[in-house]
Structure 1
């Protein structure tokens, strides 16, 4: 059938509505149409240059960037179905559009906002992390951190530091030699990442013969359940039968020591179900469990003791992974506590294997943060944190020494702005200087002026003001460990 038209779809629309009255429902807002149902408004596509189409495309670009999705994600049928349901008139561009235009444009817009955001920061700290992709491409990620006027921590990933390097005074890196050499070139205040330090110390303990053998036996068993669908199904049945949590077994990752700790803890949790599953007729019949082994009661007891010895490092690693609160002030107290806990490695109630783990940890941790500069940075940060300002992990002499250095640094900082402060404090105008004193005050001067000499307040030095400020700060009770020092 042919329908006459003159450059628009009015005739076609009138014809369809006359012969298909049910299409009138599309004229009113109703719940989403069922899949496969089409109306005229489905065929009126959004122009690519319309504001709504641009807004949706930018939202998809943000989704790809924030969730680290591949560009080909926009061509997946499920993703396209969601967009067709939410906005049928939007035409999804190809992945080349996001590769060549949308993502680069979003990058440039974000990069342009970065200097403005960092310009408001009085001081910027930088963290650096080198990593290698699966395609063996090497990268270095720089992240700038600063505290806003509302006392909130903000973090921004940067491309280069040349544009705002005057604000960057502090940098945190790992313990790699190339990173340590790089920060020396700019003469920045440098701190070594405590989480990376804990990782190095823990790996030394994991390389002990009795620990590595235990991890190898557990790793073979967990790997078997990951590879075998029959064994995995048997494990689920035994979990239900023994009323154990339906948790999957974990396998450790070389780069993260705490994954080994999690693997052991999960194995110990599921050990009854693992033994029952390995003895299941279906698993034994498959003949593929020959490389696995179950732990004896003695082995299980030893594994529990080793996990207990490593738990403080696991907790400290989780604390240092916090991203909403400054972590540098926590480093010195945690380091001191771990040294104290691992120093008592000769306790009579501890197994020799546990003592060896603690000695290994103590030897590695005791070599960290030994230079005067690194210790001074950590202790100053702890002093300025109201949770740790008492420095209870130090002797009284060490506390006074730290307080003296903090006072000297505060006085030096004040001298940089003291001239501006003096000019801004209590400005006296010419009218005020020429105005005569009140009659009552003048009479008081005439009567008692000879006896009470007028004493002017002697201006305090920057050092005196810093000492007084620190004294008042220390007199206030410390903040609870559960509270936010920024708030």
Structure 2
């Protein structure tokens, strides 16, 4: 709206705007009186007496102040949009009631996410997580961390525990496995897992609990813990069999708790292989290979040159990395030596390259005799590695595998004509350690009976004729007793 210039001769009194008009701009504008009433068709500037047509809003008056009286603009507060207020589309979206079925399902799914993916409770306070949920379901209001800690997760645990117990109660026998471990924060825990065959003949496994252990890990304490688990999960009538590692305290716990006990075969293999790796001659070879591997991991220059030599010397399109072993996994030492042999030509070419200065290339290399020994050690450990991989790749490894694989390993570790002294020592170390395991009559009975019931090994070719006959008699007798029980109940 165009402004009307003030009349120099018109000096009538400018009356204030009605009090109901709250805009700050009315501090600088008013109206003339005509016949005793305010003439609201034009507003009058109190500074320069300019008349501006009033059309129902204050835009023209604000523009006038900004243009002709800028010194007043800073003191004039114009009506602005409050950014803290929700937009119209947002204000129209109502929040889901926290007790509605939809909100409960979403809350439960978040609790499942925390439990299954082992996320901390604090994840519900993370900005990214909250933004994701807001995008997926704008109407859903994410509960606080305390809600998940105090109610959502405990309710989910209670519900899941009831389902697990209902499923296990239908099983006739249950095996439990126990493993103690230490967290990064050096806190000690024990995890108990249950295994059984379902009604549709499928192997089912459940992690029953992971519990902090503050007491000393004595056999008595571990036995009490295991017995508490059996009682809590109502397994007292399930003929529970215990599977643990070869630790003395766990063997003692099985005896105190009167559990039929089977030692973990993977742990048995690890102990036997570790004994061989600790032989002075083998340990020296490992140390040299490990030092070379570590060198190529820490030197950027050597690593780049090593990759180039793999392409040139070995014709590899995708360069490989040397492997460094982990103390707690014996097979990583085998993999380290095997990879070193695979790439040793490129390793040799890199270490002798003029591109590396003398200081960088000062590293222990392996002689031809050392390389031959590494190759022989890898070959000797191959059956143990194959057994480890075989057990690991089984989706549901059963105790029936132990006896035949164990017998095969003992045969593989027998001395053969032409074995070097180092290889004889390696075989001897592994065989000696294996012979200390599974030598009680109770363990043998469990292993041999299980293998006899497995169609793959029912002929028991790894036993003598006399042993096969004894096992067959035992299995037949037990089957007959079970048949009598069935007829009694029928």
TM-score, scaled to structure 2:
0.70
Residue pairs, 1:207-218, within 5 angstroms = 207-218=278-289
Report the CA distance shift for 1:280/1:100 in structure 2 as closer, same or farther (over 3 A).
Answer: farther
Q: Report Cα offsets for 1:392-424 as digits up to 9, x if no partner.
A: 111222211111111122223333333223xxx
Which of 196, 202, 206 is 2:273 aligned to? Answer: 202
Partner of 1:269: 342
Partner of 1:142: 192
Partner of 2:366: 295
Give, in whole Å, the separation in 2 of the partners of 1:299 and 1:68.
46
Partner of 1:368: 437
Report the CA distance shift for 1:311/1:50 in structure 2 as closer, same or farther (over 3 A).
Answer: farther
Give, in whole Å, the separation in 1 of the partners of 2:405 and 2:326.
25
**Matched pairs, number:** 381
Query: Gaps spanning 5+ residues in structure 1: where?
Result: 1-37, 422-487
Q: Which sits farther off after the overlay, 229-238 or 324-333?
A: 229-238
RMSD of aligned alpha carbons: 2.9
Note the C-alpha offset of 1:228. 3.6
Give, in whole Å, the separation in 1 of the partners of 2:176 and 2:130.
40
Give, in whole Å, the separation in 1 of the partners of 2:186 and 2:236.
30
Give, in whole Å, the separation in 1 of the partners of 2:195 and 2:166.
14
- Does residue 158 (structure 1) correspond to residue 208 (structure 2)? The answer is yes
Residue pairs, 1:284-363, within 5 angstroms = 284=357, 287=359, 290=362, 292-322=363-393, 324-343=395-414, 345-348=415-418, 350-363=419-432
Give, in whole Å, the separation in 1 of the partners of 2:333 and 2:320.
16
Q: Report Cα offsets for 1:154-209 as digits up to 9, x if no partner.
A: 00111322122221421111111111111122322211111111111111100011
Report the CA distance shift for 1:308/1:56 in structure 2 as closer, same or farther (over 3 A).
Answer: farther
Which of 51, 63, 66 is 2:116 aligned to? Answer: 66
Partner of 2:161: 111
Note the C-alpha offset of 1:118. 0.4
- Does residue 122 (structure 1) correspond to residue 172 (structure 2)? The answer is yes
Give, in whole Å, the separation in 2 of the partners of 1:277 and 1:57.
58
Q: Report Cα offsets for 1:71-110 as digits up to 9, x if no partner.
A: 4455566655655554455555565554454433332322
Asked if structure 2 preserves the Cα contact closer than 8 Å seen for 1:124 and 1:167, the reply is yes
Report the CA distance shift for 1:103/1:251 in structure 2 as closer, same or farther (over 3 A).
Answer: farther
Secondary structure of residue in 2 paired with 1:165 = coil
TM-score, scaled to structure 1:
0.70
Report the CA distance shift for 1:255/1:102 in structure 2 as closer, same or farther (over 3 A).
Answer: farther
Q: Report Cα offsets for 1:357-397 as digits up to 9, x if no partner.
A: 11111111122211111111110000000110001111222
Give, in whole Å, the separation in 2 of the partners of 1:276 and 1:80.
54
- Does residue 187 (structure 1) correspond to residue 258 (structure 2)? The answer is yes
Report the CA distance shift for 1:81/1:319 in structure 2 as closer, same or farther (over 3 A).
Answer: farther
Partner of 2:322: 249
Note the C-alpha offset of 1:111. 1.7
- Does residue 407 (structure 1) correspond to residue 472 (structure 2)? The answer is no
Asked if structure 2 preserves the Cα contact closer than 8 Å seen for 1:173 and 1:191, the reply is yes
Asked if structure 2 preserves the Cα contact closer than 8 Å seen for 1:42 and 1:88, the reply is no
Query: Gaps spanning 5+ residues in structure 2: where?
Result: 1-86, 210-228
- Does residue 258 (structure 1) correspond to residue 328 (structure 2)? The answer is no
